[in-house]
Structure 1
Amino acid sequence: MSITGKALDWQLLKRVFQYIKPFKRVFYLTVFLTVVLAVLAPLRPWIIQVILDKYIALGDYMGLVQMTFILVALLVTQSIIQFVYTFRTNWLGQKVVNALRVRLFKHIIHFRLPYFDKTAIGTPVTRVVSDMETVGSIFSNGIITIISDILQMTGVLIFMFYIDWQLALMVLLPIPVLVVATNIFKNKIRKVFTDVRDKVSELNVFVQEHLTGMRIVQIFNREQQEMDKFKKINEQHREAHIRSVWYYSIFFPVVEILSATSIALLIWWGAKGVIADRLTVGILVEFLLFLYMLFRPIRELADKFNTLQMGMVG
């Protein structure tokens, strides 16, 4: 199965989702928890802003204690929901992997003997073991977490524009550049991940075949020739990994520079607003937290899209 030119193969994704039908209650639970987490996420910066502007600034100690308890209760609630969400998404992924492995192995054992004569034994081994884990990542680190991140970013943006649309526009100026950079990175790293997967499969096939037929290798005294072949395949595998590291080494500093640019714009424009009594220090802190919540998912989104893509390739 190969990657198409499309960002996502929806028909293929629909086929994979057939396997969650026996676990649809857990799937619906994870989707519900995703929405809950997206709603709760922007509340923490807002509570901190209220604490700074309405209680610390006015010296209201009792109010500060009450709001602190509310903040702690929110954090505890978020942590519990996040635990259930993380556990259930990974549980769902492993259940799907288990069902797919059983079905795939059942399919393989009914193949005709000529298939095994023509096909390297490492190929079905890779399919059953490695590729199925990749497919499971569609649920544990793919589609559900992408939905979660998009919902959280949407909630953050709504809060930012509701609080101060001018400040929101100013600090979001670098976002279009970040979106373009993320899209370029996603497209480049997708090809590299495909190469890595192909090289892993090739390496598995080579090792499996040669361990099985080691007696033949030794009888014909081909140890050195086969060692040279292995070194070549292993080198290609290493180079594919290095290319992925190279792209990451470029992408993440770009994200950090754009994030720092947004923070600089926040401090510059926000300080002017504070001096003019149009903004408060609490709002500046709130927007700083919002920016962190916005940039973190965007930074990870390319990775998650590629996790989803590689899962469909598997």
Structure 2
Amino acid sequence: MRPRTALVVALLLALAVALWLFQGLGPGNRPFVLGLRATKLAALALVAASVGMATVLFQTVAQNRILTPAIMGFDALYLLIQSLAVATLGTVGFAMLPAGAKFAAETLLMTAVAVALFGALLGRAAPEAIGRTILTGVVLGILFRSGATLIARMLDPNAHAVVQAASFADFGRPAAGTLGWAAAVALPAMALALALGPRLDLLALGRERAVSLGLPHRAMVLVTLALVALLTAVSTALVGPVAFFGLIVAGLAHALAPGARHRVLLLTAAALAATLLIGGQWAFERLLGLRATLSVVIEFAGGIFFLALLLKGRIR
């Protein structure tokens, strides 16, 4: 990335943060208001960075820039886990679960299942088999969602409401109670992804080239998928499933830093995601008075962006 471009991205992020924290701040009780805004700001930034980095990592593994973890069924798997938990423990038992233990169990289970399902598929798939990989991921996503829907239909209305509340949120009300636990999972995962930057550069070259250069391809794929699952679980637990936000951010990162190393690409995606999410949520709250929903706009814009990539033949 050019220094001028990096400076512009940094300035835009700083502007979004400043607007979020200080716009409309009155003279009374500033520490209390700033504390609330800072907590929400941290949650949005953590979600944004997690989604952006997870998408870049997953696209590197899949050797395809139109894929996101949501398309491959990660978000649907999270919803299925929520439905199973409510059906097994009941509404009271589910509500009594400690937030930290619940978040840790969900993250570990999602990571284990995701690596088991997609590790063999993407670790051994040849480049020409990418179409089969996409189809398998879509089918698994439909299977997970169908399972969650089936379980939800068997629950009583109160239990179904609990599932809805646990599985879906919005950018206006991130789950602040799990923010500390989410940060404890996401920040080390992001640091590890940055530390693995040179190996990710080799992984992006393709299986044959990476192996010829001495990269343990199979192990690297599994580690990267585990990071994707961890970061996806964090973002989903805080604000709910977001299918196309990562696709937009990853596409912008590749456009602003063409041919960049993965460390630069991951940081660029995280910064762009934070800027768009914080700035967008500020605009919807302060300028539009919550008369619209940011997640709906993101999904609509992301769907158009996805179709544009398909039409341009950007499958690689």
Query: Normalising by structure 2, what TM-score?
Result: 0.28
Who wins on radius of gyration, i.e. which is larger? 1
